[in-house]
Structure formats: structure tokens, C-alpha cells
Amino acid sequence: MKAIVCREIAEDIGTVRLEELPSPPLKAGEVRVAMRAASVNFPDILTIQGKYQHKPPLPFTPGMEGAGDVIEIGDGVTKLKVGDRVVGGAKTDAFATEVVAGENGMRPIPQGMDYIAAAAFPAAYLTAYVAFYRRGALQKGETVLIHGAAGGVGVAAVDLALHLGARVIATASSDEKRNFLNQRGCHLVLPSSGFREAVKEFTGGRGADVIYDPVGGDVFDESARCIAFDGRLLIIGFTSGRIPTISVNMPLIKGYSVVGVRAGEYGRQFPERGRENMAAIDRLAAEGVIRPYVCQTFPLDRAVDAMRMLQTRKVIGKVVVTM
């Protein structure tokens, strides 16, 4: 098999290499998957740089999620069979031509999805689902402000918020990204800074009921000044590179909540709800509500180029590595 291998923690993600490796052994309860596509996510980059909370032992293969075909099953496997088209993943291993995973780590690709779309949707849409359905309680008719809305988790948030019947304000850093968001159906699209007054004007002075923030930094600071009373400021991540702080008198006086969203950890803490969440996004995908947008694909030997495209903020939606 071939895989992208990280043998040293380094700021430069170009230190990873495509290598020929022996196929990993298959244990009881595991399946072997011939990978067809794998999605690129910010944690892939951060893990190579040693900046992510999960720090796998060296060497490791990056890649959180992907899709492919089951080509072998271990003893005791009952949910999957050879030939099944599956999607799934863990914190690493997806940037490879073969992956061995526990059968619970893979599930059938939703009906009507190809491998590329299947690889692109799980993490982003699961994050948005947990944010809006479980943590933020977004209601029909409420106004949601979505930052980084042209990125993978941002597009997912836009799609689910529109599906819920919310009024969607989106921010993005370039004209190209803002044009994309207008075409996606957002009600108001703004630059990623200086949005405060426009949000207040759009909401009649009230502010946004829910704010979805995967950016952090200055975006969070400005968001805290245009959120409605009883609003929910959802913390998704810090792609700006700065983890912001807040004086607790602000949510006290303005009566809003600051809520952390970690979709994977939510499922680990509440396993039954986690299974319900996954089933829900699979159902939405099969119904066509989820429409992941993939702006570009790269072959496995150009996985570093795919990660650099994400690192330099040139991606709209998702970028996918194909095998």
C-alpha cells in the first residue's frame, strides 16, 4: 500500500512523504478498506505541526476521514461485508490507499453519494449538526451569523441553518467567497471584519441569535458585540491562530451564552446521542439536504499541495485527496 507518512513534527507540512508500506494486519472485528477519497481538514495540518490536542506517536499517516470499498473483513465482523461502499475515519490514517479500521469506524455511504462527496461531508456536517441541534438550539426564524462561511465547516453550517429555516448572515474574506455564499442562498453576506453594524442593522438592532465561530481572534471579539440577548455564541475553533478571551461581565450584562462545540467529543460523552447525530446527517445526505461542495481534488502524491491549499485559505468548501 501507499501512504503519506509523517516521521517528524515540523512547522513545514512539506516534510511528509508518500511511502510504500506493508499492508497492516487485519484483526478480529476490523475491516480493510481500499480508499478512494479522503477529505483534508485543518487538524491534519495541525497534527503534523504538533499543534493539535491529539498527538499520535511517530510515524503516522494524517487524514481524518475518507471513503472507499471494503475489500476484507476480520473475524466477528457482522455489520459490513466485502464490496460495501463505506465512509468513516478516525484522527489519522486516511491519506493512504488502504485503511484498517474497526467495523464501527466505518458505515455505508449514504444513497446517491459518490466517494468524493462522501469523504467531504462527515466531520463538517457533524460539527454543524451538533452545533445547531444539540448545543445552540437554533430555531426556525432566528438569525444566525456564520463566520468562515465559505470553508468546509462554514458551508456545512450554512446548509443546515437554511434547512432549519434560519435567517443566515455569512462572512468571508474575499469577493470570490462572498459571491459563492450569495449563490448558496445566504440572506446577507459580509466581509470577515467590520460586520458588527451591518448585523445590528439587519436584525433591527437586536443582534444575531446564534453565532457560529470557527475563526476566533478578532472575529470573536467583534461577534461578542453584535449578539442578541439570550444569544448563543458557539465556539467551533480558532483558524485565525489566536484563541480569544472574554471578560465574563459581557455575557452577564448582555445575557448570552458562550458554548463550546466538539462534535466528536460530544459523541464520546453521549454515545447514544452520538449515534443519533451520525444517523441524522446520513439521512440528510441521502435526502439531498447535505450537498458538500468540493472545489478541487488532488491525487495522493499531491496531498501536501491539497493541505497547502487549505493552509493558505484558498479553499471554498472542501478539498479532497483521491487514490
Radius of gyration, CA atoms only, the chain:
20
- CATH code of the domain containing 132: 3.40.50.720
Tell me, yes or no, whether 98 and 131 share the same domain.
no
With beta carbons less than 8 A apart as the criterion, state whether 321 and 97 touch: no
Question: What would the pLDDT profile of 266-282 be if each residue is shown by its tens digit?
Answer: 999 999 999 999 999 99
pLDDT range class, residue 290, cuts 50, 70, 90: confident
The last residue of one of the domains, among 249, 265, 281, is 265
The pLDDT assigned to 90 comes to 84
Q: Is the pLDDT of residue 240 over 90?
A: no
Per residue in 204-238, pLDDT tens?
999 999 999 999 999 999 999 999 999 999 999 98
Statement to judge: residues 113 and 134 lie in one domain: no
Does one domain contain both 116 and 138?
no
pLDDT of residue 201: 98
pLDDT score of 241 = 83
| Residue 275 falls inside a structural domain | no
String of DSSP letters for 27-79 = PTTEEEEEEEEEE--HHHHHHHTT-SS--PPSSB---SEEEEEEEEE-TT--S
pLDDT at position 115 over 90: yes
| 54-64 average pLDDT score | 95
Mean pLDDT along residues 275-304: 95
Position 144 confidence tier, pLDDT thresholds 50, 70, 90: very high
In a shared domain, residues 104 and 195? no
Residues 142 and 248 in one domain: yes
Same domain, 134 and 256: yes
Quick: pLDDT tens for 29-46.
Answer: 999 999 999 999 999 999
For residues 93 and 34, is the Cβ–Cβ distance under 8 A?
no
Q: Establish if 278 belongs to a structural domain.
A: no
The number of distinct structural domains making up the chain is 2
Same domain (yes/no): 42, 161: no
- Residue 284 CA to residue 229 CA, distance in Å, equals 31
Same domain, 227 and 217: yes
Place 54 in a pLDDT band, splitting at 50, 70 and 90: confident
Mean pLDDT of the chain: 96
pLDDT value of residue 91 = 86
pTM for the model: 0.93
**Which of 226, 248, 265 is where one domain is finished?**
265
Whether residues 6 and 99 share a domain: the answer is yes
In CATH, what number is assigned to the domain containing residue 19?
Answer: 3.90.180.10
Q: Which domain does 142 fall in, by range?
A: 123-265
pLDDT score at 188: 98
pLDDT tens digits for range 146-204: 999 999 999 999 999 999 999 999 999 999 999 999 999 999 999 999 999 999 999 99
With respect to residue 68, please indicate whether it lies within any of the assigned structural domains: yes
Centroid of chain to Cα 323: 21
pLDDT value at position 44? Answer: 96
Q: Tell me: do 146 and 171 sit in the same domain.
A: yes
- With a pLDDT cut of 90, the percent of the chain lying above it is 94
- The C-alpha atoms of residue 282 and residue 280 are separated, in whole angstroms, by 5
The verdict on residue 270 lying in a domain is no
The confidence score (pLDDT) of residue 239 equals: 86
Residues 88 and 129 both lie in one domain = no
